[in-house]
Amino acid sequence: MTPRSFAFRPRYRGLAWSSIGLGGAVAAVSAVLGFVTMPLVAGALGIALGAAYLRSSTWRIAVTVDDAGLAVGSPGRLRFRLAWADIVKVVASPATSSCYVDGGAPERSLLVPGDGAPALYDIADRRALVEAIVAHVPADRVQTVASLDQATPAPPAK
């Protein structure tokens, strides 16, 4: 399999662009009124926060899938790599194009958020990513559910 990457994407782009637009409008009104300080600062803050969200380094992170496993990282920094054999469990919901990959520790696990998930990020072509993960992980380690909140919890550690 040729390695394929799936980039993280901002889920709240509309909110960020609204912040930039509203901030720009408030700053413009402030300029028309004689550069009133408070609205000018609030407008500039709205523009800055919206732009910072859209330019966040988080959006350079990608999940790369190949025959050996999956890797999560940005061009300058690999966050973690999991061989397919090292994956403890996958809970997948084909209906919502979401899955949770348990890598054995929270810092080595991945959530692919689907429709309606309360995550701050989305992943490009997540349906293909979920399909690739499910295809590579042995069937006895994959739990398929209608939505991730219906997953069977793991037994308590002893």
Q: What residue segments make up the domains of the chain, in order of their start?
A: 9-57, 66-150
142-154 tens-digit pLDDT:
999 988 877 776 6
Entry pTM: 0.78
6-36 tens-digit pLDDT:
999 888 888 889 999 999 998 888 888 887 8
CB 97 within 8 A of CB 114: yes
Dihedral class, residue 116 (left if φ above 0, else alpha if ψ from -120 to 50, else beta): left
Distance CA 139, CA 17 (A): 42
17-26: long-range contacts, CB 8 A cutoff, minimum separation 24: 17/50, 17/54, 18/50, 19/46, 19/47, 19/49, 19/50, 19/53, 20/46, 20/47, 20/50, 20/51, 22/46, 23/47, 23/48, 23/49, 23/50
30-63 tens-digit pLDDT:
888 887 888 888 889 999 999 998 888 888 999 9
Q: So what's the pLDDT on residue 10?
A: 86
